[in-house]
Amino acid sequence: MSEQMIERSPDPYNAEPEPGALIEQFLTPQALFYVRSHGPVPDLPADHRIEVSGIDVESRSFSVEELKSAFPTRMVTAVLQCAGNRRTDLQQVSKTSGDPWDVGAIGNAEWTGVHLADVLDAVGAPGASDLFVAFTGADEVDVEGKEAPFGVSIGMAKARAPDVLLAWAMNGEPLAPEHGAPLRMVVPGYAGVRSAKWLTRIEVRDAPSDAPIQAHDYKLFPADVTSETVDWSQGLTINAMPLNAAICSPGSGESLPAGGVRIEGYAIAYDRGISRVEVSVNGGRDWRQATFADDPEARWGWRRWSLDATLAKGRQHLVVRAFDEAGQGQPERPDTMWNFAGYLCTAWHHVHVLVE
Ligand SMILES: Nc1nc2c(c(=O)[nH]1)N[C@H]1C(S)=C(S)[C@@H](COP(=O)(O)O)O[C@H]1N2
Ligand SMILES: [Mo]
C-alpha cells in the first residue's frame, strides 16, 4: 500500500489517503483511492461469471469478456464517496459507531464498463419503477455479529438511468483486487455502499435486497435514535448523496511558515453541480470566493478549488463552505446533523493550523 494511505482498520483493510495527496489530481489513482471493505477481499478468477435473474427475467450469466463483446463500452467520470466520509467531525459532537473517516473516504475516477440498462434490456427485465435491482458481492460480511454475503439494491429507475455501470477499469487500468476486481457496480451520485464490489449476482426484485448491509446498515436516523433503540426498518436508506466540501491542504494541525498559503480542497454536488465555494481564514467571520481548478466538465465528478491567502502568525482557523446550482449551501454545524451511525456529515469544514 502507498505510504500516503492512512489505515483506518487493519482487518478488513480500510484506508483513506492523506488529504493533501488526494487533491493533487482530478482523477484519483487507484493506489490513493480510499478502500472501504466490510470483509476480506475475495480472490476471483478472471473468468468469474455474473448471474442475472429475477422477476420476469431470462436467467443468464456473463463473464467479463462476454459483457465486453456483447455491449457498448461506456466511460463515466464519477465520484465514489462513503456515507461515513467526515465521520470524525460528528464524533467530536458525540460518539458514533463506525470507522473514523476524515475527509478522504472519497475519490474521483474515470470508470470503464457497460451500462446496467443495456444488460437489463438484454435479459428482458421489466422497467416498472416499483421494482428493485439487487447486487450481491462475493465477500462474506459481518453485520451485527451475523455473517452474510454483501448485498445491496437500488430502485429500477436509477438502475436504468444512464451512467450506472458494471465496471472493470478505473482510470484506464484494470480494477485492483481491493476495489472490486474483476467487476463492480458504479452507481454515480449514490452513497458508495450501493456500488457493490466483486459482483456475482444481479437480481430483479419486487422489494429491496434483504441482505443485512441493505436492511440493517447505511440508514439515516434522527439524533434521538441510538444503537440500542434503533428499528432498522425505519430511517432513510442513504442513496443520493448531499452537497459537501472539504479543505485538503493545509491539513488539520499543520504548522506553516507565515506569509502566503494556497488553501485547496474539493466540493461535490453530483449532477446538481457546484456554483461557488467560499473560504474563510478567520473562523467564518469573512468569506472569499475560491477559484475552481481547471477540471474537465464531468456531471458526476468533483470540483477541486483553491484560494491563495496570507496568514498572520498564530493559531489560524480556516473554513470552507460550498453552494450548489440551486443556491443551497451546507449547514453550519455538525451537531445539527449528528446521528448514531455517523453518516452524511456535510457541515462547514474547519481546519486549524499554527502559523510560525
Ligand atoms: N462487495 C462489497 N462491495 C462494496 C463494499 C463491500 O464491503 N463489499 N463496500 C461498499 C462501500 S460502504 C463503499 S463506500 C465502496 C468503497 O469502494 P472502494 O473500496 O473501491 O473505495 O464499496 C462498496 N461496495
Ligand atoms: Mo461506504
Confidence (pLDDT) at 1: 61
Give, for ligand 1, the residue of 1, 5, 14, 37 to mutate: max count of ligand atoms closer than 8 Å to Cβ.
Answer: 37
DSSP per position, 241-286: PPPEEEEEESPTT-EE-SEEEEEEEEEE-GGG-EEEEEEESBTTSS
Distance in Å, CA 37 to ligand 1 centroid: 5
Question: Which ranges in the chain are annotated with CATH 2.60.40.650?
Answer: 244-355
3-state helix/strand/coil string of 125-178: CCCCCCCEEEEEEEEEEEECCEEEEEEEEEEHHHHCCCCCEEEEEECCEECCHH
**CB–CB of 321/348 below 8 Å?**
yes
Q: Which atom of ligand 1 is nearest to the CA of 39?
A: 7
- Side-chain half-sphere CA neighbours of 343 within 13 A: 21
Question: Which ranges in the chain are annotated with CATH 3.90.420.10?
Answer: 5-224
Q: Enter the CATH code of domain 5-224.
A: 3.90.420.10
C-alpha to C-alpha distances, 50 to 53, 111, 241, 337, nearest whole angstrom: 10, 19, 28, 39
Architecture in CATH of 244-355: Sandwich (2.60)
Q: Which atom of ligand 1 is nearest to the CA of 199?
A: 1
- What grid cell was written down for 55? 422477476
**CB–CB of 31/18 below 8 Å?**
no
pTM: 0.97
Per-residue pLDDT of the chain (356 residues; tens, 9 = 90+): 678 999 999 999 999 999 999 999 999 999 999 999 999 999 999 899 999 999 999 999 999 999 999 999 999 999 999 999 999 999 999 999 999 999 999 999 999 999 999 999 999 999 999 999 999 999 999 887 889 999 999 999 999 999 999 999 999 999 999 999 999 999 999 999 999 999 999 999 999 999 999 999 999 999 999 999 999 999 999 999 999 999 999 999 999 999 999 999 999 999 999 999 999 999 999 999 999 997 778 899 999 999 999 999 999 999 999 999 999 999 999 999 999 999 999 999 999 999 99
Distance in Å, CA 220 to ligand 2 centroid: 13
Distance CA 94, CA 338 (A): 8
For ligand 1, residues with CB inside 6 Å are: 33-38, 80, 82, 137, 139, 141, 150, 179-180, 192-193, 195-198
Distance in Å, CA 33 to ligand 1 centroid: 12
End-to-end CA distance of the chain: 33
C-alpha to C-alpha distances, 151 to 126, 134, 141, 242, nearest whole angstrom: 21, 7, 9, 23
Confidence (pLDDT) at 143: 82
Confidence (pLDDT) at 296: 74
Nearest ligand to the C-alpha atom of residue 34: 1
Distance in Å, CA 36 to ligand 1 centroid: 5
Give, for ligand 1, the residue of 28, 38, 41, 186 to mutate: max count of ligand atoms closer than 8 Å to Cβ.
Answer: 38
Nearest ligand to the C-alpha atom of residue 44: 1
DSSP per position, 35-64: B--SSPPP---TT-EEEEEETT---EEEEH
Confidence (pLDDT) at 172: 98
Distance in Å, CA 253 to ligand 2 centroid: 26
